[in-house]
């Protein structure tokens, strides 16, 4: 049973437009959420995070929104650039439990010129 779900395996967006990547989770104990970006043959790179006490965190072109009641978070990238083409993983952490992160399966974002 997947605790972190990314239901879109891929997403294609035109350069300059907004990219919205979605993530749902089932474990209400998760209190910290992260987004990672991964290029082929490289390890995941940390992008942005949000604590469960917040509903929004912004860093440059990247904004993460958290809706705890819906157990949903989203990553907005605006404007989208060609270098944003990568696989994006949503990950979550729970206090007191396993100290690792629980990852979704990833969404492959393709930025079209």
Partner 1 sequence: GAGVSQSPRYKVAKRGQDVALRCDPISGHVSLFWYQQALGQGPEFLTYFQNEAQLDKSGLPSDRFFAERPEGSVSTLKIQRTQQEDSAVYLCASSLGRVTEAFFGQGTRLTVV
Residues contributing to the site for partner 1 (CB under 8 A): 4, 6, 32, 34, 36, 41-46, 49, 89, 91, 93, 98-106
Which residues are CB-neighbours of 61 under 8 A, at least 6 positions away?
A: 77, 78, 79, 81
Nearer Cβ to partner 1 (77/104): 104
36 with 91: CB under 8 angstroms? Answer: yes
Q: Which is nearer to partner 1, 55 or 59 (CB)?
A: 59
Looking at the Cβ atoms of 6 and 19, the one nearer to partner 1 is 6
At closest approach, how far in Å is the CB of 15 from partner 1? Answer: 27
Give me the least distance between CB of 3 and partner 1, in Å please: 11
Q: Which is nearer to partner 1, 66 or 101 (CB)?
A: 101
Beta strands in the chain (DSSP E): 4-5, 10-14, 19-25, 32-38, 45-51, 56-59, 62-67, 72-77, 86-93, 102-103, 107-112
* Total residues found in the chain within this entry: 113
């Amino acid at each position: 049973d997947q605790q972190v779900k990314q239901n879109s395996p891929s997403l294609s967006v035109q350069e300059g437009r907004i990219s919205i990547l979605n993530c749902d989770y089932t474990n209400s104990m998760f209190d910290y959420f992260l987004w990672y970006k991964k290029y082929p043959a490289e390890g995941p790179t940390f992008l942005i995070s949000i604590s469960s006490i917040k509903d929004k965190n912004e860093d440059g072109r990247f904004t993460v929104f958290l809706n705890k009641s819906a157990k949903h978070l989203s990553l907005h990238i605006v404007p989208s650039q060609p270098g944003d083409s990568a696989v994006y993983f949503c990950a979550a952490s729970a206090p007191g439990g396993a100290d690792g992160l629980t990852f979704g399966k990833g969404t492959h974002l393709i930025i079209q010129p």
